[in-house]
Amino acid sequence: MSAFTEILASEKPVLVDFFAEWCGPCKVMAPVLKELKQTMGDNITIIKVDVDKNPAAASAYQIQGVPTLIVFQKGAIKWRQSGVVPVKQLQKVLEPLVN
């Protein structure tokens, strides 16, 4: 878990997608996150966390439903939302955090 914690402590905003293989809306998020990464490039880090394979991470952040997206910067939670989030909304959240 320490590598995960290290990544979250980064100056660069980190978007963590808590998802599950069986989750329909999570599959909808995959191309959205891909588009976001293409748009924002190396200004952000995107990590996908499978809640079924990482129950400790899911419970640490009280993940109730998937997908849940959380943006971290310097280890702090800057934004969090459950459900499918459009790419434009994610950009609005992330752009002010990019140095």
Quote the pLDDT of residue 1. Answer: 53
Q: What confidence category does residue 3 fall into, taking pLDDT thresholds of 50, 70 and 90? A: confident
Instruction: Specify the CATH number of the domain 2-97.
Output: 3.40.30.10
Quote the pLDDT of residue 46. Answer: 97
Q: Is the pLDDT reported for residue 9 higher than 60? A: yes
Catalytic residues: 23, 26
For residue 32, give both structure tokens: 């959205």
Instruction: Note the pLDDT tens digit of each residue in 51-95.
Output: 999 999 999 999 999 999 999 999 999 999 999 999 999 999 999
Instruction: Note the pLDDT tens digit of each residue in 11-58.
Output: 999 999 999 999 999 999 999 999 999 999 999 999 999 999 999 999
Strand order in the sheet with 76-82: 45-50, 14-19, 68-73, 76-82
CB 78 within 8 A of CB 8: no
